[in-house]
């Protein structure tokens, strides 16, 4: 055997040597390192540089040549941002490089202006051009240098996260020492052929490249290796989980006959879009296999996901199984219930609504009906997956608008007495590609890209200043008089107490009938009010008894009132892009043109960019990508959950390409069943150690 894998059971692991034993590290320095969570030599080796400073290519201004990649080092001595005559935003700066000046400019990157400051020391890399006798860099890459770097020698220098009491130079010395004495002792858990195949360097070489690079390429190769491990292990975990589902989880095989198909289709007064047809084909195929379906349907707001859900649920019922439709809010549960009631008006399917709001006695009745199998179809909030709710023969769970259900949360409801139900997740929040490959990497994916015919793009405009605001309300009153309805969305329930702070929903609700909406009926819904009252208000709005509804984002998901075609979003800059898109989706449903007004007095570059994107595009997928790039993974889903992605160093935006690459590698490893061969045993062990619990993976599975 040619395996170079150190026996993991050996007791005295040299990497556990306390840092104090490194030369030049006494107790005082060890205490400082401890603040960075560095206790052992191994910790020190894994204290990775956040980037690297390439001073090997720094040129004097007089040495620059046209068109080649080069860097200069200098101090910001002039800074300017303006709009060009063609309407582009332009940031320019002048860099003083030891008395010689170079210019740099960026178009349509308003945030660059905020990132730069006078007197800053910068390293700038790009391909310069000479214009009017002066060197110019267009869209150069930047690195911010500290005073310390002013003095540093040349070469390729890693830069570490530090803490008080230790400086870059010292950290570099220590990591270099650790590399020299210990890097070769770090066990390699990939076998040589795999390294070659995946184009990654071995672990010793990687650590050397990260901490003691002689070229930037060496550093990058080191980073690639560690990022590879981070992402690859996660993807192998997801792939193992999929396999476990497919091989172990017996699910009811549900065949949909032509007769059943026709009977379900007759319930809808329209023919289905191609996207809906495709989704139904995918779902039908999954249901028939005898293994549990785990599918994610991504479709923009208004694409008609409810139809797909109803189709799948009725197919399960027709096959003799129970179906459950789960929603994140009562509001949405009630609405789906109403839809079902009208679709199934002539049907004998036994159905029930189960939310926290219905009385205890009714709840018990529903529980009993589900347990005996009397109830075939249940709609509800998460109340339907509580432990005390038992199903006689649950065959399918449809989870609507639950994009916040990540890998970990979904693991919670897998097993149902001997078999697993089919699971269909639906979301209108377009999920950025990279997030989809991680949070939902274990699901099959159906993308629905088309909308039902006749939909009109919502006209969206930013409203700035009192004059525009007046015109906006004039327009709205006109449309209300014509019979349309309006949502007014505010980011908060309570207003601020300080002068100048935003108004809350309550206050707006009190004031509007006296001001802009004199003579119109105004209602209010928000998450903190009594559920009964909220449902009544929604019903009144749906019936048209209320013309304007003041709301928080409780109306964000799923609410469907086709006659409501107007929306005013207050303090619009406080919402994320995807959230704005969701909100706007509420008014793109009927036969009338929708209008959305984004009221915002904020003129920060970020909010201008964001609201501008809303005006420009109505493609949810495109908006999701922009949002993701601006705000990172946590916020793209409308909730801070950065901690919930169990990655160590990878960054989904920056490392997207590697994510795709590791995913393909992981899938091929499972497809060829190579993962079960002895040479991959150490890898499998690592994956189980890291993700076994999170992903509910069985050892040996």
Residues that bind ligand ADP (CB under 6 A): 270, 272-273, 276, 299, 301-307, 428, 452, 558, 560, 562, 589
Report the partner that residue 430 touches, choosing among ligand ADP, Mg ion, none (CB closer than 5 to 8 A by kind): none
Report the partner that residue 527 touches, choosing among Mg ion, ligand ADP, none (CB closer than 5 to 8 A by kind): none
Element (H, E) at 26: none
Report the partner that residue 634 touches, choosing among Mg ion, ligand ADP, none (CB closer than 5 to 8 A by kind): none
Cβ 304 to ligand ADP shortest distance, Å: 3
Report the partner that residue 270 touches, choosing among Mg ion, ligand ADP, none (CB closer than 5 to 8 A by kind): ligand ADP
Dist. CA 48–CA 40, nearest whole Å: 14
Dist. CA 93–CA 80, nearest whole Å: 6
CA neighbours within 13 Å on the CB side: how many for 148? 11
| Eight-state DSSP code of residue 411 | G
Cβ 453 to ligand ADP shortest distance, Å: 6
Residue 193 CB coordination number (10 Å): 10
The stretch near Mg ion (CB under 5 A) out of 16-24, 297-305, 519-527, 536-544 is 297-305
DSSP string over 60-107: -GGG--TTS-EEEEEEEEEEEEEE-TTS-EEEEEEEEETTEEEEEEEE
How far out from the chain centre does Cα 320 lie?
37
Nearer of residues 97 and 428 to Mg ion, judged by Cβ = 428
The stretch near Mg ion (CB under 5 A) out of 65-73, 217-225, 460-468, 555-563 is 555-563
Report the partner that residue 560 touches, choosing among Mg ion, ligand ADP, none (CB closer than 5 to 8 A by kind): ligand ADP
How far out from the chain centre does Cα 570 lie?
24
Dist. CA 570–CA 412, nearest whole Å: 38
Residue 318 backbone dihedrals phi, psi, to 5 degrees: -60, -30
Report the partner that residue 542 touches, choosing among ligand ADP, Mg ion, none (CB closer than 5 to 8 A by kind): none
Q: Judge residue 87's burial from the number of C-beta atoms within 10 Å of its C-beta, 0-12 exposed, 13-18 middle, 19 or more buried.
A: exposed
Cβ 454 to ligand ADP shortest distance, Å: 8
Report the partner that residue 280 touches, choosing among Mg ion, ligand ADP, none (CB closer than 5 to 8 A by kind): none
Virtual torsion, Cα 448, 454, 459, 460, nearest 10 deg = -20
Nearer of residues 333 and 570 to Mg ion, judged by Cβ = 333
Nearer of residues 273 and 600 to ligand ADP, judged by Cβ = 273
Nearer of residues 212 and 305 to Mg ion, judged by Cβ = 305
Report the partner that residue 452 touches, choosing among Mg ion, ligand ADP, none (CB closer than 5 to 8 A by kind): ligand ADP
Nearer of residues 302 and 633 to ligand ADP, judged by Cβ = 302
What do you get for the CA distance between the two ends of the chain, in Å? Answer: 25
CB 373 within 8 A of CB 400: no
Report the partner that residue 589 touches, choosing among Mg ion, ligand ADP, none (CB closer than 5 to 8 A by kind): ligand ADP
What strands lie across the sheet with 100-107, from one edge to the other? 129-131, 134-138, 100-107, 89-97, 70-83, 121-126, 141-145
Nearer of residues 171 and 588 to ligand ADP, judged by Cβ = 588
Cβ 331 to ligand ADP shortest distance, Å: 13
Dist. CA 53–CA 219, nearest whole Å: 10
Q: Which of 558, 590, 620, 633 binds Mg ion (CB under 5 A)?
A: 558
Radius of gyration of the chain (CA): 30
What SS3 state is found at 322? strand
Report the partner that residue 513 touches, choosing among Mg ion, ligand ADP, none (CB closer than 5 to 8 A by kind): none
Cβ 555 to ligand ADP shortest distance, Å: 12
Dist. CA 531–CA 525, nearest whole Å: 9
Cβ 456 to ligand ADP shortest distance, Å: 13
Distances from the Cα of 23 to the Cα of 12, 20, 29, 181, 420, angstroms? 20, 8, 11, 11, 58
User: Which single residue brings its beta carbon nearest to ligand ADP?
Assistant: 304
What SS3 state is found at 416? strand
Dist. CA 116–CA 701, nearest whole Å: 52
Report the partner that residue 395 touches, choosing among Mg ion, ligand ADP, none (CB closer than 5 to 8 A by kind): none
CB 521 within 8 A of CB 548: yes
Distances from the Cα of 168 to the Cα of 47, 161, 211, 279, angstroms? 13, 9, 12, 55
Nearer of residues 122 and 554 to Mg ion, judged by Cβ = 554
Cβ 265 to ligand ADP shortest distance, Å: 11
Cβ 97 to ligand ADP shortest distance, Å: 55
Nearer of residues 276 and 434 to ligand ADP, judged by Cβ = 276
Cβ 458 to ligand ADP shortest distance, Å: 14
Dist. CA 295–CA 426, nearest whole Å: 8
Q: How many chain residues touch Mg ion (CB under 5 A)? A: 2
What strands lie across the sheet with 294-299, from one edge to the other? 351-354, 377-380, 322-326, 394-400, 422-427, 294-299, 444-448
Nearer of residues 235 and 402 to Mg ion, judged by Cβ = 402
Cβ-Cβ contacts under 8 Å for 470 (sequence gap 6 or more) = none
Dist. CA 305–CA 312, nearest whole Å: 11
User: Which single residue brings its beta carbon nearest to Mg ion?
Assistant: 558
Dist. CA 673–CA 598, nearest whole Å: 53
Cβ 553 to ligand ADP shortest distance, Å: 15
Report the partner that residue 158 touches, choosing among ligand ADP, Mg ion, none (CB closer than 5 to 8 A by kind): none
For residue 328, state whether it binds Mg ion (rule: CB under 5 A).
Answer: no
Cβ 459 to ligand ADP shortest distance, Å: 19
Cβ 563 to ligand ADP shortest distance, Å: 11
Cβ 560 to ligand ADP shortest distance, Å: 5
* Residue closest to 370 by CA, chosen among 413, 322, 338: 322
Cβ 441 to ligand ADP shortest distance, Å: 23
How far out from the chain centre does Cα 323 lie?
29
Residue 566 backbone dihedrals phi, psi, to 5 degrees: -120, 140
Cβ 280 to ligand ADP shortest distance, Å: 11
Cβ 465 to Mg ion shortest distance, Å: 36
Cβ-Cβ contacts under 8 Å for 515 (sequence gap 6 or more) = none
Report the partner that residue 304 touches, choosing among ligand ADP, Mg ion, none (CB closer than 5 to 8 A by kind): ligand ADP
* Residue closest to 448 by CA, chosen among 309, 253, 650: 309
Nearer of residues 211 and 336 to ligand ADP, judged by Cβ = 336
Nearer of residues 495 and 562 to ligand ADP, judged by Cβ = 562
Nearer of residues 113 and 487 to Mg ion, judged by Cβ = 487
Nearer of residues 325 and 551 to Mg ion, judged by Cβ = 325
The stretch near Mg ion (CB under 5 A) out of 444-452, 489-497, 554-562, 591-599 is 554-562
Report the partner that residue 299 touches, choosing among ligand ADP, Mg ion, none (CB closer than 5 to 8 A by kind): ligand ADP
CB 617 within 8 A of CB 596: no
Nearer of residues 157 and 399 to Mg ion, judged by Cβ = 399
Nearer of residues 291 and 455 to ligand ADP, judged by Cβ = 455
Nearer of residues 309 and 435 to ligand ADP, judged by Cβ = 309
Residues that bind Mg ion (CB under 5 A): 305, 558
């Amino acid at each position: 055997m040619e395996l170079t894998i150190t026996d993991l059971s050996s007791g005295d692991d040299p990497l556990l040597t306390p840092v104090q034993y490194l030369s030049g590290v006494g107790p005082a320095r060890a205490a400082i390192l401890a603040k960075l969570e560095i206790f052992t030599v191994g910790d020190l080796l894994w204290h990775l540089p956040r980037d690297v400073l390439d001073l090997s290519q720094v040129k004097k201004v007089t040495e620059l040549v046209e068109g080649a990649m080069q860097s200069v080092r200098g101090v910001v001595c002039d800074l300017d941002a303006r709009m060009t005559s063609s309407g582009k935003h332009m940031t320019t700066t002048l860099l003083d490089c030891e008395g010689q000046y170079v210019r740099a400019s960026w178009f349509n990157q308003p945030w660059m202006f905020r990132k730069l400051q006078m007197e800053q020391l910068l390293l700038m890399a790009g391909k310069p051009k000479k214009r009017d006798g002066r060197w110019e860099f267009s869209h150069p890459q930047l690195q911010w240098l500290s005073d310390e770097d002013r003095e540093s020698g040349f070469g390729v220098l890693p830069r570490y996260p530090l803490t008080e009491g230790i400086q870059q130079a010292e950290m570099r010395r220590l990591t270099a020492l650790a590399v020299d004495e210990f890097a070769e002792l770090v066990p390699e858990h990939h076998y040589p052929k795999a390294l070659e195949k995946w184009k990654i360097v071995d672990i010793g070489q990687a650590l050397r490249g990260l901490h003691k690079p002689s070229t930037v390429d060496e550093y990058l190769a080191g980073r690639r290796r560690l990022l590879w491990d981070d992402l690859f292990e996660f993807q192998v975990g997801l792939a193992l989980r999929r396999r476990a589902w497919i091989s172990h989880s017996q699910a009811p095989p549900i065949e949909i006959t032509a007769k059943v198909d026709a009977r379900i289709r007759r319930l809808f007064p329209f023919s289905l879009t191609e996207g809906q047809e495709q989704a139904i084909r995918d779902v039908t195929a999954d249901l028939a296999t005898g293994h549990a379906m785990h599918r994610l349907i991504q479709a923009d707001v208004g694409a008609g996901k409810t139809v797909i859900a109803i189709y799948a649920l009725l197919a399960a019922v027709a096959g003799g199984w129970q179906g459950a439709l789960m929603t994140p809010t009562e509001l949405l549960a009630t609405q789906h219930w109403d839809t079902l009631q009208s679709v199934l008006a002539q049907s004998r399917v036994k159905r029930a609504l189960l939310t926290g709001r219905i009385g205890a006695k009714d709840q018990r009745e529903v529980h009993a009906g589900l347990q005996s199998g009397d109830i075939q179809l249940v709609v509800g909030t998460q109340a339907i997956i509580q432990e005390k709710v038992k199903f006689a023969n649950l065959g399918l769970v449809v989870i609507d608008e639950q994009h916040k259900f990540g890998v970990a949360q979904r693991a919670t409801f897998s097993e149902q007495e001997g078999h697993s139900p089919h699971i269909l997740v639906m979301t209108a929040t377009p999920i950025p590609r990279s997030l989809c490959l991680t949070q939902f990497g274990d699901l099959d994916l159906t993308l629905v890209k088309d909308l039902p015919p006749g939909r009109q793009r919502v006209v969206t405009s930013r409203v700035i200043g009192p004059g525009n605001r007046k015109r906006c309300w004039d327009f709205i009153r006109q449309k209300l008089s014509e019979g349309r309805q309006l949502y007014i969305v505010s980011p908060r329930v309570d207003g601020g107490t300080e002068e100048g702070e935003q108004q809350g929903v309550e206050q707006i609700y009190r004031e509007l009938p006296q001001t802009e909406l004199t003579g119109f009926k105004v209602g209010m819904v928000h998450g903190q009010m009594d559920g009964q009252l909220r449902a009544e208000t929604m019903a009144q709005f749906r019936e048209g008894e209320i013309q304007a509804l003041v709301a928080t984002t409780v109306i964000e998901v799923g609410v469907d009132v086709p006659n409501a075609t107007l929306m005013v979003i207050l303090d619009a800059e406080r919402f994320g892009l995807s959230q704005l898109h969701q909100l706007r989706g509420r008014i793109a449903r009927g036969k009338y043109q929708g209008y959305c007004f984004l009221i915002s007095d904020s003129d920060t570059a970020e909010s201008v960019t964001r609201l501008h994107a809303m005006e420009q595009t109505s493609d949810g997928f495109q908006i999701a990508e922009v949002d993701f790039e601006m705000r990172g993974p946590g916020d793209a889903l409308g909730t801070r959950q950065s901690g919930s992605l169990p990655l160590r160093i990878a960054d989904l935006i920056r490392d997207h390409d590697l994510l795709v690459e590791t995913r393909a590698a992981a899938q091929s490893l499972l497809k060829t069943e190579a993962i079960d061969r002895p040479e991959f045993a150490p890898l499998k062990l690592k994956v189980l150690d890291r993700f076994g619990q999170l992903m509910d993976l069985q050892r040996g599975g």
